[in-house]
Amino acid sequence: MIDFRSDFISRPTPKMIEAMVEAAQSNCSFGLREDPYQKRLEELAAHILGKEDALFFPTCTMCNQTAIHIFCSPGEKFVAEATSHVIYSEAGGPASLSGVMPIPVRGEMGCMNLKEMEEVIHPGDVQRSRTSLIVLENTHVYAGGTVLSPTQMKQFRKIADRYKIPIHLDGARVFNAAVYFNLPVSELTKDADSISVSLNKGLSAPMGAILAGSKSLIQEALRVRQMFGGGWRPTNILSAAGIVALETMIDRLAEDHFHARKFAEDLNGCQGVSVDLQRVQTNLVVVKIDHPRLTLKEFIEELREQDVLVIPFGSNGLRMAFHWEIGRNEVNTAIEAFDRVARGLKKRKGGELLER
User: For 153-157, 159-163, 188-192, 271-275, which range has the lowest pLDDT when averaged over its residues?
Assistant: 271-275
CA distance linking residue 91 with residue 314, whole number of Å: 18
Residue 133 within a domain: yes
The whole-chain average pLDDT of the chain stands at 95
Whether residue 242 is found in the same domain as residue 113: yes
Whether residue 279 is found in the same domain as residue 301: yes
Domain that holds residue 134: 11-247
DSSP H helices in the chain: 14-24, 36-49, 60-71, 85-88, 93-98, 114-120, 150-163, 174-181, 186-189, 215-227, 236-248, 253-267, 296-305, 328-343
CA distance linking residue 143 with residue 205, whole number of Å: 24
Give this prediction's pTM.
0.94
Confidence (pLDDT) at 347 = 63
Query: How many domains does the chain fold into?
Result: 2
DSSP label of 272: T
**pLDDT band of 350, cuts 50, 70, 90:** low
Instruction: State the Cα angle at 184 between 265 and 107, rounded to 5°.
Output: 55
Q: The domain spanning residue 50 has which CATH number?
A: 3.40.640.10
| Statement: residue 348 has pLDDT above 50 | no
CB neighbours of residue 227 within 10 Å: 12
Whether residue 316 is found in the same domain as residue 239: no
Q: Greatest CA separation found in the chain?
A: 73
Residue 338 within a domain: yes
Q: The domain spanning residue 308 has which CATH number?
A: 3.90.1150.10
Whether residue 340 is found in the same domain as residue 194: no
What would the pLDDT profile of 156-173 be if each residue is shown by its tens digit? 999 999 999 999 999 999
Whether residue 33 is found in the same domain as residue 116: yes
Whether residue 171 is found in the same domain as residue 222: yes
Query: Closest Cα partner for 167 from 283, 311, 64, 87?
Result: 64
